[in-house]
Amino acid sequence: MSFWTAVVVIVAILAGTIISTSKHKAKHNSADNDKTNELEKEIEALKARIVTLEKIVTDPGYDLKKQFKDLEDDRVA
């Protein structure tokens, strides 16, 4: 095998390795992006639920309803 043939073989092996590695990284990054998007959607949904809960708990009638419920529970027991 001549020197240039050996160089071509080595370059071909390195090129194949680099291409394989870059495909693997691209696939991995795509999966990470999908997971990130999924988590961002979940966070937005949780934020919306928190806003709703804050509205309920800060509603002036909420405490009054709770007090009535507590009185009913005490009367039943």
pLDDT at residue 1 in the model: 66
The answer to whether the predicted template modeling score (pTM) of the entire model surpasses 0.85 is no
pLDDT at residue 77 in the model: 62
Rounded to whole angstroms, how far apart are CA atoms 57 and 22? 52
pLDDT at residue 70 in the model: 83
> Taking the chain, what is the end-to-end CA distance rounded to the nearest angstrom?
96
- DSSP 8-state code for residue 9: H
Rounded to whole angstroms, how far apart are CA atoms 32 and 24? 12
For residue 2, what are the domain limits?
A: 1-74
What is the total count of domains within the chain?
Answer: 1
Mean pLDDT by 10 residues, the chain (77 residues): 82 88 78 85 92 81 77 76
